[in-house]
Amino acid sequence: MKLLLAITAATLCFAATESRVSRATILAVEKSINEKFAAYSAEPYSQLGYARGTYLEGYGTLFTIELDLINTGPLNLSPFKPTISAEEKATTHERKVKKLVELKESMRVLMMNASGTLEGLPPNERISMETILFNYSWEETRGLPHRVFMSAERQKLLDAKAARAGQPELTAIIEEQER
């Protein structure tokens, strides 16, 4: 009897310290985010760090990643390129503004997919994602945020996934902040 009580107490203590969301599921979401932003395209992102995720008890999961919307490195000043023309600045800004729309759509889809991957996450807790955007100091940053933050309840994302929701529906349920 004493042994049974001891095993039960040990089990309860272990259960209390174990996270509801396993590290493996967080790693799976990180991998999907990295693969998404590293994917080849006509205008690829320039990833400046791998996605990092964590679980905050009572709040939910938060994933962050830093990237440049386009590969602006070759345009930057150097001893071999002492000036950046106004046309280059305008073209870069235009390309980034277009890419920002694509980034937001990708973030929404990633969050919706993460709602299925993060099995241990309570339905009333949130799935949040923040993308930190890099801009060179010479760039025109009008209309370009430094951070894009999105957050939604897991249950709403699960419902959207079940309903195979498109971008308009996802936009309606996901809260967005730009800073």
Binding site for other proteins (CB under 8 A): 47-50, 66, 68, 73, 76-79, 82, 134, 136-138
Q: Between residues 58 and 82, which has the closer beta carbon with respect to other proteins?
A: 82
Read off the amino acid at residue 40.
Y
Alpha carbon distance 134, 111 (integer Å)? 21
| Residue 138 C-beta: closest distance to other proteins, Å | 7
Cβ atoms of residues 70 and 92 within 8 Å: yes
The residues facing 144 across adjacent strands are none
Alpha carbon distance 99, 11 (integer Å)? 50
Q: Between residues 105 and 130, which has the closer beta carbon with respect to other proteins?
A: 130
| Residue 78 C-beta: closest distance to other proteins, Å | 7
Q: What is residue 58's DSSP assignment?
A: T
Q: Which residues contact 114 (CB under 8 A, 6 or more apart)?
A: 29, 32, 61, 63, 127, 129, 157
| Residue 5 C-beta: closest distance to other proteins, Å | 38
Q: Between residues 134 and 159, which has the closer beta carbon with respect to other proteins?
A: 134
| Residue 161 C-beta: closest distance to other proteins, Å | 28
Cβ atoms of residues 174 and 154 within 8 Å: no
| Residue 25 C-beta: closest distance to other proteins, Å | 17
Q: Which residues contact 39 (CB under 8 A, 6 or more apart)?
A: none
